[in-house]
Structure 1
């Protein structure tokens, strides 16, 4: 991983996550940082060893999850099957967490999903938003309180820094040309 030290990433925390102890402890991980700072890449780097350890893992972008949730509502028993499917993953990566504000149906689903995953699975959140912004992004109120409560108290928080890794990689490639 490029620029680990310059981005302020703690190598020992990354090594610990690579050993998958967070999975057996049912801890969440929040990767928070600017656009292009490597959140999705880091999530994949964390989930890869989990797959090697034969944990059932899945990566989904929040816009795709919202679309799948909407489609599930159109099928008999679709919402129950949807919740069961996403609860069953030992490690679930929710990429682009809170990029779009969830509507009421999505908030209800997120609450149910986080409730069922609490203390049974590990969820990795890749987001541009700091914890202080989550309540508002989740629409405020009791759903936002409950969703946030099931995530933040057992999470390892990693700030991925302010370096745009896409820009860095593009500049490095241009320098080689």
Structure 2
């Protein structure tokens, strides 16, 4: 059994999990008698590593500010929606993020875009990626506040360009000012070919140019999104209505 002094030193090094792991080994010595020292230390380090990662992923999920904290890819409803389950499971590997691809979730209101986005975001957090969920109207409000306070948009652009996955809900839902469009361009430029963005929108990509005001700025924004994006239609089935009916 390790001494109290050794336990104190481990805790001082923020290795409380290691103290717990070694205690488990001490309390169940019969299970570890046949193991070599190397095997026991490897098992302990693996447990420590997993424990640290679990804590970090929980912290990342909290920082992501998901709208649906209970969203889970394993509880996604597929029947009658036209969703490709294999595609969703493939996205759950986060390979698209390693390739710096983005995702466009397109569908009517209530079709489950936000739930699916949060589920994919939580998967990314479990793989220790930094994720942030935000509604586009809220992000544009932050831009307006930064401008009115004389801070400029640079700091805001840098903050939201650094997330490994940025989930933009209600994308292009509201009318945009010229300043809004310039801000969107700066953000997409910063994130282009570096990080992934997940867009939740009611508008098809073919409508985006008009929603972005047309012209060269809209061209530039689209050029940085559409060529490296995976498009998913979440269908016309109203998931809010479906699940509210199931609860009755």
TM-score (normalised: structure 1): 0.95
More helix by share: 2
Runs (5+) with no aligned partner, structure 2: 1-74
Out of 62, 79, 93, the position equivalent to 2:136 is 62
Report the more deviating stretch, 121-130 or 11-20: 11-20
Q: Which consecutive unaligned segments of at least 5 residues does structure 1 have? A: none
The question of 1:115 aligning with 2:197 is answered no
For residue 41 of structure 1, the aligned residue among 104, 109, 115 is: 115
Deviations 1:8-31 (A, max 9, x none): 111111001111111111100000
What does residue range 10-159 of structure 1 map to in structure 2 within 5 Å?
Answer: 10-159=84-233
Question: Over residues 92-141 of structure 1, what are the superposed CA-to-partner deviations in whole Å (9 max), with x where a residue is unaligned?
Answer: 00000000021100100101110110000000000000011111111111
Q: Which runs of 4+ in 1 moved over 3 A?
A: 75-78
Mapped to 2, the partners of 1:129 and 1:14 lie a distance apart of: 21
SS of the residue corresponding to residue 148 of structure 2 reads coil
How many residues of Structure 1 are paired with residues of Structure 2 in the alignment?
174
Asked which structure has the greater RCO (Cα within 8 Å, sep 6+), the reply is 1
Residue by residue, what CA displacement relative to the aligned partner does 1:12-55 show, whole Å, maximum 9, x if unpaired? 11001111111111100000000100000000011101111111
**Cα separation, 1, equivalents of 2:247 and 2:125:** 31
